[in-house]
Amino acid sequence: MSLEDAKKHVDLAITRDGYKGYSFENTFAGAPSFLRRTWTKDLTGVDLAVTGIPFDQAVTNRPGTRLGPRAIREASALLAVDAPYGWGFEPLLDFAIADYGDMAFDYARVADVPAVIEAHVAGILKAGAGAILLGGDHSISLPSLRAHHARHGPVALLQFDAHTDTWADKDGSRIDHGTLFYKAVQEGLIDADRSVQVGIRTDNPDTLGLTILDAAEVHEVGAAATAARIREVVGDAKVYLSFDIDGLDPAYAPGTGTPVWGGLTSAQAARILRDIAGIDLVGGDVVEVSPPFDHAGITALAGAHVAMALVCLWCWTRRGG
């Protein structure tokens, strides 16, 4: 594509014919849809929809993740120009992946937001597409799990996080980024026996039956053995992967609300995510990226790489040949 052609076709997020192909725009310019995918609300023919959930009113400490989707999209421009390294296939050429935009909601009706998220995700799944969410704080994963459960039944949860997020909420009415997986277990959304929490480094004696591979263990056994253990636990179950960016060490993800030292390196996360290719991923999210606390865009870049890995994992089991 020549510069003269480009003048007629930029921005691909708006003008691309169809959904497939790499980006030829300058990485530092143009409309920043996720991975330069077509921005659309029409999911006809779309395989996988990526959508932003800019909600951050359920946090225990620092806010700011409402700005996460925008920052992750911008960082993702660097990943839109060629094949993902080390995967050996080309999801952006072979699959119709769209940016479904950000979810619309009334920021002043907080209690209504979980139902709005559930309906938003259910709409994507009903259209026959897979859904990957860009958060937002971690509370957004509960309504997403409800929507995925309605379509797929109980799923295996694969969670990367410094925190288990399984603290009790007895009457279930709180909207809280620290209780969502307690509720997911209580509601039967996830199969605890097939679920794994990776990178944990906060104390919570009640595991609810989930397998915990804490950060110390990952550092001890290494990424490859961690991935093997994950595959062993989830087996052939349908998997929902929820990646709280604070699963990474604050050195790799400072821009987040509740950072804890001793976490995964970005290299460990990249290796684990690549090595679990073949799991039956049905959906997932990247949450807790908070740009106001970020430095040099480190955390948004990590979020973009994780989201790309989710795209790769989703496409991997559905690829031909």
Of the pair 46, 140, the CB lying nearest Mn ion is at 140
Spatial contact of 27 and 7, defined as CB atoms under 8 Å apart? no
CB of 308 to Mn ion, least distance (A): 20
Spatial contact of 243 and 196, defined as CB atoms under 8 Å apart? no
Of the pair 253, 273, the CB lying nearest Mn ion is at 253
Of the pair 161, 294, the CB lying nearest Mn ion is at 161
Binding segment (CB under 5 A) for Mn ion, from list 12-20, 63-71, 133-141, 222-230: 133-141
- Residue 294 binding Mn ion, by CB under 5 A: no
In the set 47, 118, 165, 176, which binds Mn ion (CB under 5 A)? 165
Distance CA 141, CA 172 (A): 15
Spatial contact of 76 and 304, defined as CB atoms under 8 Å apart? yes
- Residue 25 binding Mn ion, by CB under 5 A: no
Distance CA 69, CA 18 (A): 23
In the set 138, 146, 149, 271, which binds Mn ion (CB under 5 A)? 138
Of the pair 172, 278, the CB lying nearest Mn ion is at 172
- 118: enclosing H helix or E strand: helix 113-126
- Residue 161 binding Mn ion, by CB under 5 A: yes
- 294 CB-side CA count, 13 A: 24
CB of 87 to Mn ion, least distance (A): 26
Of the pair 103, 140, the CB lying nearest Mn ion is at 140
x-or-dash string of contact with Mn ion, 233-262, rule CB under 5 A: -----------x-x----------------
Phi, psi for 70 (deg, rounded to 5):
-65, -45
CB of 13 to Mn ion, least distance (A): 30
Closest-CA residue to 136 (of 51, 75, 65): 65
Of the pair 138, 146, the CB lying nearest Mn ion is at 138
Of the pair 71, 260, the CB lying nearest Mn ion is at 260
CB of 182 to Mn ion, least distance (A): 12
**E strand map for 54-140:** 97-102, 130-135
Three-state SS at 89: coil
- Residue 56 binding Mn ion, by CB under 5 A: no
Amino acid identity for residue 298 in this structure: I
- Residue 148 binding Mn ion, by CB under 5 A: no
- Residue 162 binding Mn ion, by CB under 5 A: yes
Closest-CA residue to 115 (of 157, 147, 138, 154): 147
Determine if the peptide bond prior to 11 is cis (ω within 30°): yes
| Positions in the binding site for Mn ion (CB under 5 A) | 138, 161-163, 165, 244, 246
